[in-house]
A = this chain, B = another copy of it.
Amino acid sequence: MSDNRTATYPVTPRSKVKRMYERGAYDRAAVHAVLDAAFLCHIAYVIDGQPFCTPTIHWREGDRLYWHGSSASRMLKHEKKGVQVCLTVSHLDGLVLARSGFNHSANYRSAMCFGTAAIVDDPQEKARALEAITNRFWPGRAETLRPIDGQELKATTVIGMTIEEAAMKARDKGVGDDDLDDAALPVWAGVIPVSTVIGALKPSPVMDPSIAVPEGVAHYREGRRLDEVLLETQALYEKR
């Protein structure tokens, strides 16, 4: 684990929050809290001047972010050389309805991370990353699985990126015109909260039904918020 978790990422022209800058933060804890609460991120990269925005699963180890895929994937083939990327995680927390169109808004948390992404070639780092992708989400699960074989290892590309700069941005409040003259208008105003929650587990229909839900999976209880479970499992992973 990185030992500078309380420090702040450098603020540069690239990472500085310009619009609504009062909603921005650059400290590692704030950035990591947004990243770790999500399963899915979006990665922007450029091929021959054309931007692409690809959703994928990410995981974090200190200041390093990882994602993976088939060795055949276009994005990863391209990134073998090591390229600039921007990895963004966003959580939608609410729709904010004001008395004017102008003051409608959204509650959200987002983190934008900049760095150079490259294929993880070192066999030890690759093995550790592939163990982490399981254990980070479901503590202790990797040890219970059928081990990865040589063919699978060859077919899987792991991409790593050290966060060079990052910014977190969030809005978490009520209606923006509550303290303006507009508040007196006879229009319904308020917040529609939204959250991503876990449904009832669907065990494999061909599994021996006597196999109980293991501890690492039991965190994902029906009705719980996914972001809270993911922060919990990341904390357990870091304490290991």
**Counting CB contacts under 8 A, is A126 at the interface?**
no
Residues of B within 8 A of A189 (CB): 203-204, 207
Main secondary structure of the interface of A (DSSP, over half): mixed
Interface segment among A2-10, A22-30, A90-98: the answer is A90-98
- Partner of A40 from B52, B92, B131, B195 at Cβ < 8 Å: B92
Residues of B within 8 A of A195 (CB): 196-197, 199
CB-CB nearest in chain B for A111: B55
Residues of B within 8 A of A208 (CB): 186
- Tally of A interface residues using CB under 8 Å: 97
Find out whether the CB atom of B188 lies under 8 angstroms from the CB atom of A212: yes
CB-CB nearest in chain B for A187: B144
Residues of B within 8 A of A52 (CB): 44, 86, 112
Find out whether the CB atom of A44 lies under 8 angstroms from the CB atom of B51: yes
Interface centre among A53, A174, A212, A214 (most CB of B within 10 A): A53
Interface residues of A in 45-84 (CB under 8 A from B): 45-46, 49-55, 57, 69-70, 72-74, 84
Find out whether the CB atom of B200 lies under 8 angstroms from the CB atom of A53: no
CB-CB nearest in chain B for A217: B188
What would 18 A/B residue contacts be, using CB atoms closer than 8 Å?
A: A19-B69, A19-B70, A19-B73, A40-B108, A42-B53, A45-B51, A51-B51, A53-B53, A53-B86, A101-B131, A178-B205, A186-B211, A188-B203, A188-B213, A190-B202, A192-B199, A194-B199, A196-B197
